[in-house]
Structure 1
């Protein structure tokens, strides 16, 4: 049960319409509270990644779905990692949200390669890479 709660972002991932976008919104408080130092974002990012692999791996096993739609911990992590190099301002958070969602939905190369990893890693790794690529994009846009 705990794994489902974590994987679905306290069941936000079960939202009927655009669960990935709604789940990404859960990253906003994390960014606002913890994206004050790059090392803190990376440290919490590693913790969230490991927690997400554990929780989403469980959901993958139960549902037999490689990337269950209701799992949103990966979107939360990806959006959070988008702010490793950029101060969270209203403008950067809006732009970061839009660009992260675009990367997550389109999954351009090399992001699409990472979803082929097994179980929880396949769920988490593509959004992790999308978030880190988004971080680079935001850095160049806002610096």
Structure 2
């Protein structure tokens, strides 16, 4: 999903407030904000990270796998319901991506800030192969996969930063 600083070009469906699947896909409403919905969705998802970091590594990993698999179904379903591929307000993919970013990363506000910036840059700039996946893969998997890859790349950057700075 492309995030920009332009106002949302796509109308926000009213179902975001009445359909629980749509509400989840739109990040509890964060994807309805008029500018940079992916960034707002990432910020809402970031609030969960300190909770996930209290889990054992395998538990956090299981949560990531579950959020990815659920997200493929959820984003595909909501996109189909809305009749469009990857509405810019669908931000569950950012939720999964930001959660991946912090897997096995130490707790601390400075790591949260750095990881948020690294993930958002990778998600917005979409370096190869993320850009290729974004253009070539469709459906729920396509909506999710570019953010999953950005999350794993950001996680790698974070682990390097922890070794160098931590």
Relative to the length of structure 1, the TM-score reads 0.93
Q: What residue is the counterpart of 1:42 in the other structure?
A: 61
Structure 2 stretches lacking a partner, 5+ long: 1-18
Structure-2 separation of matches of 1:32 and 1:49: 19
Do the aligned residues in 2 keep the contact of 1:66 with 1:122 (CA within 8 Å)?
no
RMSD: 1.4
Shift of 1:92: 0.6
Runs of 4+ in 1 over 3 A off after TM superposition: none
**Aligned: 1:63 with 2:85:** no
Q: How many residues align?
A: 143
Asked which structure has the greater CA Rg, the reply is: 2
Give the drift of 1:62. Answer: 2.8
Report Cα offsets for 1:33-74 as digits up to 9, x if no partner: 012433222211111112211221122213333221000111
The corresponding residue for 1:134 is: 154
Structure 1 residues without counterparts, runs of 5 or longer: none
TM-score relative to the length of structure 2: 0.80
Task: After superposing the two structures, state which structure 1 stretch, 119-128 or 36-45, moved more.
Answer: 36-45
Match of 2:5 in 1: none
| Alignment-derived partner of residue 133 in structure 2 | 114
